[in-house]
Amino acid sequence: MQKLIAHLLLTAALAWIALPAIAEDPQVSLTPIYEHLEFERPLSLQIPDDGTNRRFLVEQTGKIKLLAADEKKGEASVFFDLADRMGVEKDFEEGLLGMAFHPDFKNNGQFYLSYSKQGPKRLVLSEFKISKGDSNQADPKSERVLLEVQQPEWNHNSGNVLFGPKDGMLYFTVGDGGMKNGVYMLPQKLTRWNGKVLRIDVNGRTGSLPYGIPADNPFIDESNACPEIWALGLRNPWGSSIDPETGLFYLADVGQDLYEEINLVEKGGNYGWEYREGDAAFPLRAAMMAPLGKKPDVPKDLVFQEPIHQYDRSNGLSITGGFVYRGKAIPDLAGHFLYGDWRFGNIWALHYNTDSKKVDENHQIEKPADLKSPTVQPSGFYPDENGEAIVVGWKGNLFRITPAK
């Protein structure tokens, strides 16, 4: 018996020694910035690669404000105000939703915005230019409309705009059309832009289109498919970025009843909605299909991409994606994707291992003491000119993620 006990103790000890080390959560703080300024529902902070280090803050209400480098005393000027050309039924999810600078903005002065219009309800993607006489002002007459996506409802617009750091193509994320339960069943249809990531070439032209269709887009040879589609099966993407170092395309997709998820977007990838929410079958689909006389089963030829991470309703209700941190101030966050939950105010740092192709760390770096009154309701995470992290809060506050004091 004594030998058996000794053997068991030795086995347990060896097993304990063999366990992988669990990294501690990085210790960080949320440090308020621009406290003396007032912002109204800010969503995005963009810094063009033109050497000026100017910060452009996008407000959902239609204004783009130019922020001074001095985060304590600087003022903010209005770079552009789109309020007079937008159309909003409900301002909770409609409005000015996305901004991106052309990779050659320093020379051509071009930038891209997505915003809501009505009659019919639609999401517009347009190109604009800065004023010839003042680079701190947009030219309101320079608009060149690229895409107009029909939106059945006011919610689930999405509207993130970004350029690929290596291919120079413009990527545009579009929600599923709104309502609940995926009732319009658009994300799986290649004949519609809704519930998709679109990819276009703003420097080219294909036929009569005001943009080019990249020759390597995945559905370009399917006669009935929209050739702009890069990926499909999305519900309401909010927060997407391409890591320049690895080329990985991170996208957060807001769930309905089960999970909030993070996906790695791949060419032609199908991310499951409205058949699935996260990695689970969407339970209401069968009940929806019965009155229509349709089978709820997933077609045999569909292959879904699994999310790299998801969380349930105990941790939040609306995910906000961010970017992969490459700054120097917090070494423990290097290579981690920063994201949070808009409703609860939780913030995490996730590390995806490119060798194992799995998430090997997910640290919670902000946990509000009161979920009903979080420090910040994150609407975006963005790098500043030095790669350091700034959190944009929908309630009008901005924070830096800094080392804990």
* pLDDT on residue 23: 65
Number of independent structural domains in the chain: 1
* pLDDT on residue 43: 98
43 falls within a domain = yes
214 falls within a domain = yes
34 falls within a domain = yes
Q: What is the pTM of this model?
A: 0.93
**CA–CA distance from 113 to each of 140, 200, 217 (Å)?**
12, 14, 22
8 falls within a domain = no
12 falls within a domain = no
* pLDDT on residue 376: 97
305 falls within a domain = yes
Q: Which residues contact 293 (CB under 8 A, 6 or more apart)?
A: none
9 falls within a domain = no
Residue entry with tokens 């000119």: 385
Structural domain boundaries, residue 267: 25-403
Strand partners, 79: none
* pLDDT on residue 25: 85
Say which CATH number the domain at 61 has. Answer: 2.120.10.30
Q: What is the mean pLDDT of each run of 10 residues along the chain (405 residues)?
A: 42 38 78 96 97 97 95 93 96 97 98 98 98 96 98 97 98 97 96 98 98 98 97 98 98 97 98 96 88 86 97 97 97 97 98 97 96 95 97 98 92
* pLDDT on residue 17: 36
142 falls within a domain = yes
Residue 122 to residue 178: CA distance in whole angstroms: 12
**CA–CA distance from 355 to each of 89, 329, 333, 352 (Å)?**
46, 26, 18, 9
Strand 110-117 relative to strand 96-101, pairing: antiparallel
